[in-house]
Amino acid sequence: MKKLLPSLLIVALSSACNSTYKYKTELTSSAEVKNIIMVVADGMGPAYTTAYRYYADDPTTAAIEQTVFDRHLVGSASTYPAPVSGYVTDSASAATALASGIKTYNGAIGLDVNKNKVETVLHRAKKMGKKIGVVVTSHINHATPASYISHNESRENYNALADSYIDNGINTDVILGGGWKYFIRKDRNLVDEYKAENFHYIDKYEDLATLPSDKPILGLFGNAGLPEAIDDSDNQRLLTMTKAAIPQLENPDGYFMLIEASQIDWSGHGNDINSAMAEVNDLAKTLEYLENYVASHPDTLVILTSDHSTGGLSIAANGSYEWRPQLLTKMTESTKTIAKYFVNNDVSADVLKGKLMGTEVSPKEVELITTAKSEAEKKLNQYLAMSEAEQKSKNKPNIQRAIQKQLKQLIDIKTNTGWTGSGHTAVDVPVFAFGPEKHRFAGSIDNTDIAKQIFNLLEENK
């Protein structure tokens, strides 16, 4: 009977998962690791993946279905930076730790605390002859991708980081994300320089379907970061870019790929649960694709973690023991887009109800948004009446932001979502892995351990 119980438990757990994807034993086996896919979910602390479970739940069934995150959770990682920066990390120091295995100060890109350059797993993989891919929803010279690709004393030096992608020697074979404003400048056109290095350049998602197989690829699809997932022409643009990039990277020597779901963090900074769930959904669909890819490519390892958690998300607030994500699953526009509409249109109960996909709104709730708009208009008029010298010492009032802030608060009340602030927190973050050698990332680890294990795998599988 004792021997039978574990088997029964496995059967029960398998039956509980109603996903169309059937978990395969190959994903847990030990085998050669030829390809490594590192996924960073920027800002995605444990509350985000729990929230996504309930967001994605099928309300017509009694069970709460497993998500892709539930299937592959292996442990957690601490995220603290070097002591000089205290206990709370930023994305640059965290990405440098994940990429190099070395703690550093907040803001550092590929440097240690003494501002010496550190080798990253991307650099090592490139030296070993592997192809390199980078796919992000931020600009491609943002903190996370830059920490894997380059070196700089400050993450804010965006133009210098963009320049370094060429000047330090190109070390990527496929790079997709945003960044027109940094790569097509008056003083320097880096896109033309990539083209001169035989790169195929694209600037529309549709072009991902017809990539040449014999050229490296540069794809930029936004001025800075890409549009929010919920507003983008492709709501699953991370998935689309990933599916296009992988065939370009496949080769006998293998590849290293960095994928970043960048804008979960941006949604957290903005305390925007509507956009956050759309971003996590894009990531989840990307992981489901990678599940199936690994099942047919058992020499591919996928690791997913976050650099930190953002916003102090709480999926319940004000002492009420409930969370109501149903509104979020219906919405098709971001709060930013809805706010933009109301800048030039009256706020009415009928229109607001329509924008919230049929969710009832009270006269009081309409009044709160109307008041926020009118007060912002008044402040803007006062600002415009000031002299140019006076204006320089003030921030220009923004009507759209004022409306958006009230909309987000309304959605938080409707869903009973809470936030502790707009910054990063120091909580440990979840670690997920599937494919060969996934056990190396299990348990309670530090973010630097992830890079150290990837370095080990690269050396062991030369």
Write the DSSP string, 364-390.
Answer: HHHHHHHHHHHHHHHHHHHHHTS-HHH
What whole-number distance in Å separates Cα of residue 342 and Cα of residue 274?
Answer: 18
Q: Measured in whole angstroms, how far is the alpha carbon of residue 34 from the centre of its chain?
A: 25
User: With contact defined as beta carbons under 8 Å apart, do 343 and 403 qualify?
Assistant: yes
Catalytic: 267? Answer: no
Write the DSSP string, 15-68.
Answer: HH---SS---GGGGS-----EEEEEEETT--HHHHHHHHHHS--TTSSS----H
What whole-number distance in Å separates Cα of residue 393 and Cα of residue 389?
Answer: 7
Of the residues 7, 19, 78, 91, which is catalytic? Answer: 91
3-class DSSP assignment, residue 7? helix
Alpha helices in 138-272 (DSSP H): 143-149, 158-167, 180-183, 190-196, 237-249, 263-269
What whole-number distance in Å separates Cα of residue 299 and Cα of residue 301?
Answer: 7
110 phi-psi bin (left φ>0, alpha ψ -120 to 50, beta other): left
CA dihedral over 226, 229, 233, 238, signed as positive or negative: positive
By DSSP bridging, strand 217-220 and strand 73-78 are unpaired
318 phi-psi bin (left φ>0, alpha ψ -120 to 50, beta other): left
By DSSP bridging, strand 73-78 and strand 429-434 are antiparallel
Residues designated as active site: 91
